Amino acid sequence: MTRAGFIPTVVEMDDLNPIRDKLGVPFAISSCHTGVVGGYVVEGHVPPADVVRLLKEKPKAIGITVPGMPFGSPGMEQAGAPPEAFDTLLLLDRAGRTQVFAHHRADQPEA
């Protein structure tokens, strides 16, 4: 995120579930990192370009998430491990409704 121009403030916690509950992120679409930018939740290994798009488009939503930790997502690149296709999901509401915000193909490097 730093390379994309964001200046994160890092707060390490043993348990993010209370924060996710407060922000409206259901466990089923959670990951290992939870952030807030521009009033939106950013959950997991979300590509910086998706965060920039979110802030530009300002959809009516809670935020975006990349559930799990797919190989090839930002920060999850591993030598010898083939990247996986993954979706960034737009979290529409506290009920956990989502829609695909961006699809990332396994054969397409991140910008």
pLDDT digits (tens, 9 = 90+) for 35-81: 999 999 999 889 999 999 999 999 999 999 998 876 667 766 777 77
Q: Mean pLDDT, the chain, as a whole number?
A: 87
Query: Rounded mean pLDDT of 83-107?
Result: 90
> Rounded to two decimals, what is the model's pTM?
0.83
CA–CA dist 107, 41 (Å, integer): 27
- For 96, phi then psi, to 5°, come to 90, 10
Residue 97 Cα distances to 1, 2, 29, 43, 79, angstroms: 26, 30, 10, 15, 34
CA–CA dist 35, 40 (Å, integer): 8
Higher pLDDT, 87 or 84: 87
Residue type, 31: S
Give the three-state DSSP class for 55. Answer: helix
Domain boundaries, the chain: 14-104
Higher pLDDT, 32 or 41: 41
